[in-house]
Structure 1
Amino acid sequence: MLVKLLILALLIGIVVALVFGGVFLVKDPSTSRRTVKALSWRVGLQVALILFLILAFFMGWLKPHEVGGH
């Protein structure tokens, strides 16, 4: 259950960073670096999510289901 909550938190963080990046892109002046920071956070969170999913799979915390149920 804790693994699923961490995955959900990372996904929510990715979406929030993407929204902030879009808002900063539209509202801020061109000299502002907030858009770059927000989108950098998004990329960092995505990398963390992928690495965590790989770790969770190899540690046995996540198990893929079989297609077709065989």
Structure 2
Amino acid sequence: MLLKVFIALVFFAMVISLGAGAGFLLRDDSASRRLLSSLKWRIGLGCLLMGLLLYGFLSGQLG
């Protein structure tokens, strides 16, 4: 149960990062680094999510 909650939280954080990145793309000038930072967070969260899913399937906690 705890694994499923953690997976949902990581996915929700990815969606928030995606929205923030879209906002930065529309509002910031071309010299801003916030869009790149948002992308880095999203990639890191995506890797974490894939690792959690792999762990859940291999351990049998996710069916």
- The structure with the greater share of residues assigned to helix is 2
Same fold, judged at TM 0.5 (above): yes
The SS at the match of 2:22 is: helix
Amino acid at match of 1:15: V
Q: Which runs of 4+ in 1 moved over 4 A?
A: none
- CA drift of 1:29 comes to 1.1
Count of aligned residue pairs for this structure pair: 63
- Larger Rg computed on CA atoms: 1
Give the share of equivalent positions with the same residue, in percent.
38
The SS at the match of 1:30 is: coil
Partner of 1:28: 28
Name structure 1 gaps, 5 residues minimum: 64-70
Asked whether 1:52 is paired with 2:45, we answer: no
Name structure 2 gaps, 5 residues minimum: none
Greater RCO, CA 8 A, separation 6+? 2
Q: TM-score, normalised by structure 1?
A: 0.84
